Amino acid sequence: MRHAGTMAQPPIEMTDLPSASTPDQTQTHAGCVILVTGATGGLGEALSRALARGGATVALHGRVVRKLEALYDAIVEAGAPEPAILPLDFDKADSQAYADAAAGIEKQLGRLDAIVHCAGTLRRLAPIEHHTLEDWMTTLRVNLAAPAALTRALLPLLRRAPAARVIFTLDTRGHDPKAYWGSYAAAKAGLEALVHVLADEWENSPNLAVTGVVPGAIASPMRRRTHPGDDPTRLRTIDSLLPLYQALLGPDGERYRGRIIDAQAWLPPGA
């Protein structure tokens, strides 16, 4: 329950979204180079495979080389364009590591059309007494500072793209924080602020569009860790979210610059 005097957050935008019945987007990314962070996670892996199926060259980011190589092999075996892998531990990376990552993408792939930020970590759901300084620092680094630093490092490449997109994956608890979500809620709130900051900074850069997506509850590894009692059959699937990300990466995505999109409101009932 909110205390008297607490200001309600404005609702996440739900109107004028790309339609959930948008036809198959799978061939719209041919020739594009798209970086997906957290490509070894639930959402990141599914999205990376879908984008590769659609003809994109995907730069797969993760922190465990073995997992990245397995995904690389699967994408190549499926006959999709050869991806690249970008191993980088966001909890340990410094400015030089981000500069090196950007230089590596430029050297290996020559261009970058989009970044989809899916990487994230949630250390614990608990009262603040149980959130150590180390928890705070890791969560803020991985969920907030890393996406900002990576976007900054890759900006020169994005500026050269004809229609660059940057999509941040947010969280309901960043928009509407509640007890026990601690550093995760604070980091995701910061990421939501970053969407607005970049939209404002890029107002006069017509080829740069930034959008935030709030997935809501989805059946994924992170959700299993935070809500072990959930019945996954009652949750939206990861796959049901993919057409939204694909639409935002496609020609219509520019219309959603600076917007925070509620994926659950966008999805058709029962998806």
Ligand X SMILES: NC(=O)c1ccc[n+]([C@@H]2O[C@H](COP(=O)([O-])OP(=O)(O)OC[C@H]3O[C@@H](n4cnc5c(N)ncnc54)[C@H](OP(=O)(O)O)[C@@H]3O)[C@@H](O)[C@H]2O)c1
Contact 173, 184 (CB under 8 A): yes
Binding mask 203-242 for ligand X (x = CB under 6 A): ------------x-xx-xxxx-------------------
Minimum separation from the CB atom of position 44 to ligand X (A): 5
| Residue 91 interacts with ligand X (CB under 6 A): yes or no | yes
Question: Given the complex with ligand X, which of 18 and 212 has the nearer CB atom?
Answer: 212
Contact 174, 189 (CB under 8 A): yes
| Residue 42 interacts with ligand X (CB under 6 A): yes or no | yes
**Cα 82 from chain centre:** 22
| Residue 38 interacts with ligand X (CB under 6 A): yes or no | yes
> Active site includes 180?
no
**What's the Cα-to-Cα distance from 232 to each of 116, 120, 218, 222, 225, rounded to whole Å?**
25, 20, 8, 12, 12
| Residue 176 interacts with ligand X (CB under 6 A): yes or no | no
Which of 18, 62, 250, 253 binds ligand X (CB under 6 A)? It is 62
State the burial class of residue 194 (Cβ atoms within 10 Å of its Cβ: 0-12, 13-18, 19+): buried
Could you tell me which residues come within 8 angstroms of residue 138 by beta carbon, excluding any fewer than 6 positions away?
91, 121, 123
Q: What is the binding site for ligand X (CB under 6 A)?
A: 38, 40-44, 62-64, 67, 89-91, 118-121, 142, 169, 171, 215, 217-218, 220-223
For the annotated catalytic residues, the residue numbers are 184
